[in-house]
Structure 1
Amino acid sequence: MTHIKNKPRSLFLIPENRFREIYNAEAIVQIAELTKNDGQVYCAEDVLSQPEAFADVEIVFSGWGAPVLDEALLDALPALKAFFYGAGSVRNFVTEAFWARGIILTSAYKANAVPVADYTMASVIFALKRAWTRCQRLKEGIAPDYRRKVQGVYHGSKVGVISLGAIGQLVCERLTNLDLDVFAYDPFAGDDLFESLNVTRVERLEDLFPMCDVVSLHAPWLPQTENLVTGAMLESLPDRGTFINTSRGAIVDEPGMLKALQARPDLFAVLDLLQDEKTYHSNPITALPNVFMTPHVAGSQGHECHRMGALAVEECRRYLNGEPQVTPLTRESAERLA
C-alpha cells in the first residue's frame, strides 16, 4: 500500500448498515493509510448541521444509500474533489449541481459485475444440463431417461448474450473458455469488441432467440430498453430453450413472457427479478413449473460486497498517484449504467 505524504482528508458518507457490508477491516485500514480518515460513518444531516467541521474533506467514500449530492450538501463540502462509490448505479444521488462542479466520480459496477457473471455462468451450465427440469421430474417420481436430448456444455451448444456492458463482457469471456458457441446482440458495440471477446455478432435481437439454446439478458434499464424482450421472441426459442434475466424486470414484456412460458412448457426461465419486486411471492410467473426464481440475489451478496469496497480503495490510490481511474463516470456514461 502506498503511503501518502500530506494526506488529504476523507469521509465515509454512507448509512451505517451499509458501511460494513461494503468496507471490510482491510479496506478501512488501507483508507486510513492513504488519507486522513477518523473511521467514523456520517450521514448528510451530520454534514449539513455543522459544515465547518467538514470544510476540508477532499474525498468521500460511499455506497448503497448514498445521500443525494444536491447544492446544499455540496456547499457544505467545498473542498470535495473525488467521490468513490462502492456500488453500481449512481442515478439516485447524482445531480446537475454535482456534474457542474467537476468532481471525480467512480463506481464499483465492474466489481458488482463479477457475481452477476458467476450467477449467469452457473445458470447457463444448469440450463444446458437441464438440471432444474430433471430435478423436478425426479421429485415427481419419474425415472431419469438418459437418452433424452440434452445440449451439454461444449461446441454445438449455442448461448446468446444481450448487451456487451461490463457484465455481458465478463459472461462472454467465461463462456468462450467453456468452448461454447457464443453469439451476442449489442447495436452500440464496435466490431473490435466482438472480435476481442471471440463472439459472433447478431444484427437483430429477434434473430438471437431462435438460434440459441440459452439467451441471457444484460442490458441496462433505460426508457428505450423497456419491454425490449417480447413474448414473441421468447416463444421463438428452440425446443427446450432457456431465458435468463439478471438485468431488470422492466426490460422484459412480463405479460408476454407469462403467455410464452404457459404456451411452451418445454421452455425454461431463470429470473432473478420481476418488474415489481414486491410481487415475488404472488406473481403468477413465480408459480410456473418451468421457472426458477430468485429474489434479486445475482449481484453482490455477503463477502462479495467487499470486492466493491476494495475497488473504491483502488480508485482512491490511483487518484492520489495521478493514475487513470478504473471506472470513471461522466454524465453520459452514468446514464447508461443498469
Structure 2
Amino acid sequence: MSPSARAAVLGGQVLADLLRVADVDPELLVTDFTGTDPALSHRLGEAEVLFTGWGCPPLDSPALGRMPRLRAVVHAAGSVKHHVTPACWERGLLVSSAAAANALPVAEFTLAAVLFANKRVLAAAHAYRAARGPIDLLGHYPTLGNYDRTVGLVGASLIGRRVMELLRPFDLRVLVHDPYADPDDLAALGAEACPLEELLCRSDVVSLHAPALPATRHLLDATRLALMRDGATLINTARGSLVDTEALTRELVSGRLYAVLDHTEPEVLPADSPLFDLPNVLLTPHLAGSLGGELDRLAATAVAELARYAQGLAFRHAVDPDRLAYSA
C-alpha cells in the first residue's frame, strides 16, 4: 500500500491485532513489486499473504513470479480492481476485500442525502440565508417532506443493498434497477425491481450505486436525465462516469433538477464550473466513503479476514472473480 494508506489504516489497536494474527514486520512497507531491491525480493519470496491497501502496485505475472509462496491477498479497502489482475485468478489466489465495511459510511451518507433532499434542506437553507428572515416554506416547497416519496436506486450493490435496509423504517417507496439482481431478492429488502427509464420517471430522488464499467459510462445521458421529474434530486456517491456531466450541468443550471454529487467527471471539476455555486447543488469532495475513524473499520475487517485464513477458515468477504467483471 502507499505510505499515506498505511498511516491511515494501520495504527494503534489495529496494528496490535495484526501482529497477533500474523508474522509480519510492521516496518516493512512495499510500494514496488519490480524486484530492484534484493532485500525486498527475499521478503516477497517468503510471503504467504499480502495485506494491501490503496496504492498497491498491480499484481501481474512478473510480480507474482517473485512471490512463489503467495496464497492470498487481504485488501484493507474497497475495490481490488486496481491491483488484482487476471494473473491472480490464474494462480488460484484467495482474495478478500473490506468493500462491505466501506459500504456502510457510503450508505449512511446516502440516507442522509435522501432525507435532506426530500425535506428541501439545501434549497431552504440558501433561501433563508438570502432572505435573512422568514421565508414561505409551503409556498416555495409545496411537496416538501419524506412521507410517500419515491426513491430510485440504480444498482443493487453492497452499498445499494445497505441503503435499502436503511430506508426501510421510513414511509418511502423504493425502486431498484439492476439487471443482475433477483426481483424476489429485492422484494425481500422492501424494494421493487424496475426498468431504468420507469425508475427515472417515477422517482423523487435517484441515487446511483452502479460500478464504473464500459457499459455504464454515461448511463444517465441527456435523454435519461430528461425523464427525471421536475424538482427531482440526483445523488451520485458511485462514480462520475455514470453521468454525462455536460448534460447534467445544463439541467442543474436551468434549475429543473437538484443534485448531491460526491463524485463527478472529471473527479475535480474545473474551477469555473457553475456547479460550485448553484443553490440546487451540493458538491462534496469524495466524502462519502470511509475516512477518519471509519478507516479503523476497514482495517479491522481485513485483520479479521487474515485471522480466519490463519485458522483455515474461508474468507467472510471473499472476492468472486466471476462477479468482479460487473461489480466495483
- Common fold, TM-score beyond 0.5? yes
- Count matched residues: 322
> Are 1:81 and 2:74 an aligned pair?
no
Contact 1:55 1:77 survives alignment (8 Å): yes
Find the aligned partners of 1:275 and 1:104 in 2 and give their Cα distance. 33
In the alignment, which residue of structure 2 is the partner of 1:17?
A: 4
Distance 1:319 1:208 in 2: 42
Tell me: CA distance 1:266–1:278, structure 2 relative to 1, closer, same or farther (3 Å). closer
Write the deviation string for residues 254-303 of structure 1: whole angstroms up to 9, x where unpaired: 1211222233x142111112111232533233333321111111111111
Structure 2 match to 1:227: 218
From the superposition, tell whether residues 45 and 259 of structure 1 become closer, same or farther in structure 2 (CA, over 3 Å).
closer
Aligned partner (choices 16, 20, 37) of residue 29 of structure 1 = 16
- The residue matched to 2:138 in structure 1 has which SS? coil
**For each residue in 1:57-106, what CA deviation from the matched residue of structure 2 results, as whole angstroms up to 9, or x when unmatched?**
21111100012112332222211111101111222212232222111111
Looking at structure 1, the residues matched to 276 and 322 of structure 2 have their Cα atoms a distance apart, in angstroms, of 36
1:307 corresponds to which residue? Answer: 297
In the aligned structure 2, how far is the partner of 1:45 from the partner of 1:170?
35
Equivalent AA in structure 1 for residue 64 of structure 2? L
Contact between 1:151 and 1:157, CA under 8 Å: does it hold in 2? no
**What is the CA–CA distance in structure 1 between the aligned matches of 2:6 and 2:164, rounded to whole Å?**
32
Higher alpha-carbon deviation: 302-311 or 231-240: 231-240
Q: Which amino acid aligns with 1:171?
A: V
Partner of 1:11: none
Paired with 1:77 and 1:44, the residues of 2 have a C-alpha distance of 15
Say what the alpha-carbon RMSD is for the aligned residues.
1.9
User: Which residue pairs with 2:242 in the alignment?
Assistant: 251
1:216 to 187, 191, 207: 207
The answer to whether the aligner puts 1:186 opposite 2:173 as a matched pair is no
Distance in 1, Cα, partners of 2:49 & 2:158: 26
The aligned counterpart of 2:30 is 43
State how 1:129-168 maps to structure 2 within 5 Å: 129-141=119-131, 143-148=134-139, 149-154=142-147, 156-168=148-160
Distance 1:38 1:70, change over 3 A: same
TM-score, normalized by length of structure 2?
0.92
Provide the residue aligned with 1:5 in structure 2: none
Which of 237, 240, 262 aligns to 2:231? It is: 240
Runs of 5+ unmatched residues, structure 2: none
Three-state SS of the structure 2 residue aligned to 1:210 is helix
For residues 92 and 109 of structure 1, what CA distance do their matches in structure 2 show? 13
Question: Which residue does 1:320 correspond to in 2?
Answer: 310
How many Å separate the matches in 2 of 1:45 and 1:247? Answer: 29
User: Is contact 1:61-1:84 (8 Å) kept?
Assistant: yes
TM-fit CA distance, 1:322: 2.8
> CA offset at residue 38 of structure 1?
2.1
How big is the shift at 1:39?
Answer: 1.4
Give the 3 Å change call, closer, same or farther, for CA 176–331 of structure 1 in structure 2. same
How far the C-alpha of 1:47 sits from its partner, in A, is: 8.0
Residue 281 of structure 1, aligned match among 271, 281, 284: 271
Q: Given the alignment, which residue of 286, 303, 319 partners 1:329?
A: 319
Q: 1:171 aligns with which of 157, 163, 174?
A: 163
Structure 1: distance between partners of 2:327 and 2:28: 27
Identity %: 34
Structure 1 residues 32, 286: closer, same or farther in 2, change over 3 A?
Answer: same
TM-score by length of 1: 0.89
Where 2:42 maps in the other structure, the secondary structure is: helix
Deviations 1:227-276 (A, max 9, x none): 1112333333334211111111111111211222233x142111112111
